[in-house]
Structure 1
Amino acid sequence: MYICVCKAVTDRQIKQAASEGACSLRDLTRELGLGTGCGKCVPAAREVLGACLMSQASAQQQPDTAPATQIWASAAR
């Protein structure tokens, strides 16, 4: 979905930028040109970026249980 019509920036591009380290609207403006036209996209861009950052934060907080599962499976044999 297009977030910034002036610069043709989509939500996918915002998500990609967030996965590559963008963590502020300023980063998105610098990388994608977002918000430099009429500015009506700024609230939607903040929402998409915020959701991406929250998703990344929750993913980092979840423990990786795969190695422990593999250890227990090996020990049971």
Structure 2
Amino acid sequence: MEIKSMYICICRAVTDKDIRAALEEGACTMRELRQRLGVCSDCGKCGPHARKLLVEHRELQPSSMDLVVQPA
């Protein structure tokens, strides 16, 4: 079954899948999403939705504190 995508930026035809892919490829700020995909560069209405995806992605990433080896 194919997972459907939702348009986040109508002006630039950017979907949630496009944003998630850019985040997986290393984009970690709104500026980088704008540079890679063009989100928030026209009318700006996609900003809150793009930022929500960015925050969700960050929350799923392990923090550097999670990577510290604890003494036994």
TM-score by length of 2: 0.76
Tell whether 2:13 aligns with 1:8.
yes
**Which residue number in structure 1 is paired with residue 53 of structure 2?**
48
Question: Hey, which of these two has a bigger chunk of helix by percent?
Answer: 1
TM-score by length of 1: 0.71
Taking every aligned residue pair, what percent have the same amino acid on both sides?
Answer: 48
Q: Which amino acid aligns with 1:33?
A: G
Greater Rg by CA: 1
5+ long unaligned stretches in structure 1: 63-77
Cα distance between partner residues in 2 of 1:18 and 1:46:
11
Cα distance between partner residues in 2 of 1:16 and 1:40:
20
Alignment length (residue pairs): 60
Cα distance between partner residues in 2 of 1:54 and 1:21:
15
Cα distance between partner residues in 2 of 1:2 and 1:28:
15
Counterpart secondary structure, 1:3: strand
Cα distance between partner residues in 2 of 1:33 and 1:19:
17
> How far does the alpha carbon of each residue in 1:4-50 deviate from its partner, in whole angstroms, 9 at most, with x for none?
00001111111111111100000000000111110000011000111
Q: Where has structure 1 moved over 6 Å in runs of 4 or more? A: none
